[in-house]
Amino acid sequence: MFVFLILMLSACGDTHIEPIDHYILVHDNSSKVWLVDKQLDGDKDYTPLQIEYKEIIVFHESRNAYFHTLKTLGTKPGIKRSYWLDESKNEFGFVGSKKNIVFEIVSMSRTKIVLKPKNNSYKYTIVLIPFPEY
């Protein structure tokens, strides 16, 4: 029994934990649709009340994102932006036509992403959730 325990412990000595690629949380190795669940400015909530006026962001593995309002989905093309993630700076951003939109990552998981604007690059803190099945 003691020999078995030593063999098991020595076999486990070569294992290591791989760091998580946070891009996978955003695009799920293909594409993923996120609903902008909240648009907050301090303690004020500016989220549209009706679901059809809310926005979605479709993140692709190619690092492109498409912004759509649910009401115009399928009738108008989305706004295309490239996105990036810099874990060393705790930043998430979108490349804009005139300026980049840069956020501080407040939290990031498979079920919720909270992004707070940096340097007044955007008006609202946004809370993203995976697009729900209705």
- Looking at residue 52, which CATH number applies to its domain? 2.40.128.540
Residue 12 lies in a domain: no
Is the distance from CB of 17 to CB of 111 less than 8 angstroms? no
Residue 8 lies in a domain: no
Written as six digits, the tokens of 51 are 């679901």
pLDDT (0 to 100) of residue 21: 75
Written as six digits, the tokens of 119 are 């340097």
Please give the average per-residue pLDDT across 79-107, as a whole number. 94
Residue 40, domain extent = 21-130
Q: What is the pTM of this model?
A: 0.82
Residue 57 lies in a domain: yes
Written as six digits, the tokens of 54 are 């809310």
Is the pLDDT at 2 greater than 70? The verdict is no
Q: In the chain, how many domains are there?
A: 1
CA 39 – CA 45 distance, rounded (Å)? 6
The model's confidence at residue 4, banded by pLDDT at 50, 70 and 90, is very low
- Identify each DSSP E strand in 20-100 by its residue range: 31-41, 44-45, 55-60, 64-69, 79-86, 91-95
Residue 13 lies in a domain: no
Please give the average per-residue pLDDT across 24-45, as a whole number. 94
Residue 126 lies in a domain: yes
Tokens 């079920």, located at residue: 111
Residue 10 lies in a domain: no
Rg (CA), the chain: 20
Is the distance from CB of 118 to CB of 102 less than 8 angstroms? yes
Is the distance from CB of 32 to CB of 59 less than 8 angstroms? yes
